[in-house]
Amino acid sequence: MPTESAFLFAGLLFLAAALGYVFARFGDSDEEDAEQSARTNFLRGFRYLLNEESDRAVDVFTGAGDLSDDAMETQLALGTLFRRRGEVDRAIRLHEDLVGRASSTVAQREAASFALAEDYLSAGLFDRAEALLVQLRSSRAHGMEALGRLLRICEVTSDWDRAVDLCAELNRAAPGRVSPSQLAHYYCELAEVARRDQLPDLAGEMVSQAEASEPAKVRTALIRADLDTASGRPAEAIATLARLGQAHPALLGEILPRLLVLSPALRGGPGVGQVIDQLAATPEGLRGIALGVIRDSRITEPQAVRYLVQFLAGQPALGELLAPGDGESGQSLARVQALRPLLHKILGAGARFQCENCGYGSAVMHWQCPGCRSWDTVQPVNSTVLAGILS
C-alpha cells in the first residue's frame, strides 16, 4: 500500500506535469530528442520514488542531462522534501547537483545554494553552510535569510562577537530585524565569557552595552550583581538584587542564593536580612523565598528557613504537618527541616522552567530555549505535583 510520502511525491509529479515539464514544448528534432530523453529520465525517477526506491531515484535525477526551468524547480522542491523527511543526504545530493549545473541562471544557482546551505545546517555541517551563506549575503532574493542563518550558526558555535556584527548588518538592511532584547543577550554572553576569562572591566563594558540595548533586563541585572559581588561592591549588588526580587518574585530562587552569599561581606548599609524581610512582605515574595529555600538545600540561614515555615503554615494541605498553633517555634522549625528533603524531591519532580513558545521543559533556567531557540521565552513554572499541594 502506498505510504503518505509516496502520495506526496506523486503529487509532485502531477505538479511537474501541470507546469508543462512532462509535456514540454517541442522545437526542432534535436530538441525533441533531448526533451524526450529528459522526460523519460524524470518519469523513471518518479517511478522509483513511488516504489520507495529513493536512492535510485536520486541517481536518475542527478544523472539527467540539461534540465528545463520547471525540472530544476521540481528537483529543488524534491530535495527540500527529502530534507523535511530527515533524509538530508539525498537532499544534499539533489541540491549539490543543481548548484553545479553550468546551465542554471544566477537566480536558480542562488536558490539551490540556499537550499543546500539549509541541508548542511540540518546535517550539522556548519562550516560548509557558512561558506555558502557568506556568498549569498549580497543576494537580493536570499541575502536577508542568509544573514539570519549565519546568526543562527553564531549562536550554535558561541561566536558572540560576530553575532553582534551580524545584528548591525541585519538592522542596517532592515531596521528592527533583530530585536534589542536579542542583541542584549549577545552582549550578556560576551560579558559572561569575559567574567570566565577574569576580565572584569571588559565584562562590565559588555553589561553596559546590554543595558543600552535593552534597559531593565533580568539577565543583565543578574550579571551586574555577580560582577559587583566579585569586585567587592556588595552594597551595589544587594541593591540590584533587591530591585530584581521586587519586580520578579518568581525568580527569587535565582536571586536568594546570591543575596545570602553577600550577607557576611556587607558592613554597614542596608543588610541582606532587611532586604529579605522586605521581599517576604508580599504573598508572591514569601512564596518565591519559600520555594527558593526548598529548591536549594544549601540554604540554612534561620531567617530564610523561618519564611519557609511561615509560608507552609499558610498552606491548607501542609500547615497541619507543623506543630499546631506554635507558629515559628523551634518545634515547627525542626519539623520543616525534616520535611525539606521530601519537599525538595516533590519540587524536583516536574520541570521548573518551561518555554512559552514550544513547551520545552527543563530543570534549569535557559535564556534561549534549547527547543525552539527563541530568546526570553523560558519562564519559571510550578511543578505539577507541588501545584496540587500548594495554594
Binding-site ranges for Zn ion (CB under 5 A): 355, 357-358, 360, 369, 371-372
Q: Which of 136, 137, 12 is nearest to 73 (CA)?
A: 12
Closest distance to Zn ion from the beta carbon of 366 (Å): 9
Q: How far apart are the first and last CA of the chain?
A: 54
Closest distance to Zn ion from the beta carbon of 389 (Å): 28
240 versus 354: smaller Cβ distance to Zn ion: 354
273 versus 371: smaller Cβ distance to Zn ion: 371
Among the residues of 158-262, which ranges form H helices?
A: 160-173, 180-196, 200-213, 218-230, 234-247, 252-262
Closest distance to Zn ion from the beta carbon of 379 (Å): 11
201 versus 356: smaller Cβ distance to Zn ion: 356
116 versus 355: smaller Cβ distance to Zn ion: 355
Give the SS3 label for residue 387: helix
Give the SS3 label for residue 150: helix
Q: Which three cell numbers stand for residue 285?
A: 515574595
Q: Say how far apart CA 363 and CA 351 lie, in whole Å.
A: 5
Q: Say how far apart CA 84 and CA 231 lie, in whole Å.
A: 50
Cβ of 142: how many Cβ atoms within 10 Å? 22
82 versus 375: smaller Cβ distance to Zn ion: 375
Closest distance to Zn ion from the beta carbon of 218 (Å): 17
Q: Say how far apart CA 251 and CA 288 lie, in whole Å.
A: 7
Give the SS3 label for residue 353: strand
227 versus 355: smaller Cβ distance to Zn ion: 355
Side by side, the strands of the sheet bearing 361-362 are 361-362, 353-355, 378-380
Question: Measured between alpha carbons, how far is residue 345 from residues 338, 341, 386 in Å?
Answer: 13, 6, 10
Q: Are 130 and 150 in contact (CB under 8 A)?
A: yes
358 versus 381: smaller Cβ distance to Zn ion: 358
Q: Say how far apart CA 320 and CA 312 lie, in whole Å.
A: 9
271 versus 361: smaller Cβ distance to Zn ion: 361
Q: Are 93 and 56 in contact (CB under 8 A)?
A: no
